[in-house]
Structure 1
Amino acid sequence: MERVEPMNNLQPPHHGGRLQAAARQFKIPVNDWLDLSTGINPFSWQPPPIPQSVWQCLPDTYDGLEQAAHRFYGAPMMAIPGSQWAIQTLPAVIPSNRVWLPREAYEEHRFWWQYHQHDVRTYAALDAIEPAFRDVVVVVNPNNPTAEFESSATLLQMAHRLQAQDGHMIIDEAFMDCTPEQSVFHGNKTLP
């Protein structure tokens, strides 16, 4: 387990896009690249027509979104504008403390916890962490970029340990949609 040195550069990490710069750096013409870094597929499907009503007003309710998610996952839910919002916001609202992050993970996690001046540590194995009072443990499941999974049993065990220490566990399941049976919510109706 390693302590992460404080940042000197407060610029957010760069990821996705920048195809022109990559083409110049690697001397490969832009047309020879398939840039999947942004999630935009150049060979996309044809979307259906957009109803005129979409351009005339914003939705004023969640129309049961949170209740439907609660029924599906079996846990309280709060709709947010994407996982990046949570990655940036949670470090700002959780009191400054020691935060454990996977050694390799989506770089935005490290950046925002450090930006908000938390004491960031990294771990190679989740079960090797000995949480202290009010520690925060972040798990990216499946991990991006390693694609490794943590089992629900391991996650629940750590969640109970953190709960006993008045800590927090944050599980980023942004890429769980393809394997929902691996989710910590799958079959777990009572989470700490």
Structure 2
Amino acid sequence: MIRLLDIVFSLIGLVCSFPILLLLVFIGLCDTGFPVFFQQRVGRYKRPFTLIKLRTMRVDAESVATHLADSDSVTGFGRFLRRTKLDELPQLWNVLKGDMSLVGPRPGLFNQHELTAAREKLGIYTVRPGITGLAQVSGIDMSTPELLAKVDKQMIETLSLKSYFHYIVLTALGKGGGDRIR
């Protein structure tokens, strides 16, 4: 049932947000020259997939977890995209393709060894990663890998249609601060 909802909502989201995405891509083109960002992430069963986002950092920024990134690497437009969570819109394509779900553990990078180990120990990789979830609406980010893995596990064990919609609504209302930047 969740997969069907993911397909329907991501398709609707992509169609409805298309004009906004075009505008953001155009502004991003003026901001960084490369408005769309592709990055290999850890997916279901630890398989790699290519995450699609709008670029919020300079093109020459180091490919590290957000909490390890230098705040000077985020552009002015990137700060706006992060604050409004509009940088996440292209991930609806990842959801439609089946790489991700709307709700699930945020996909980590392959160089986040501590997070990957903590999640592997708790069986987190049996589900699709998501755009949002309990950790995101609770303000827990990837800077605390053990805590994040525990909260991801709690979310997976208690996920229901009600909580699925609850996390989506809270995210749309701006709950949770996203990953901190040092």
Short-chain TM bin: under 0.3
Task: Mark the structure with the bigger radius of gyration.
Answer: 1
| TM-score normalised by the chain length of structure 2 | 0.27
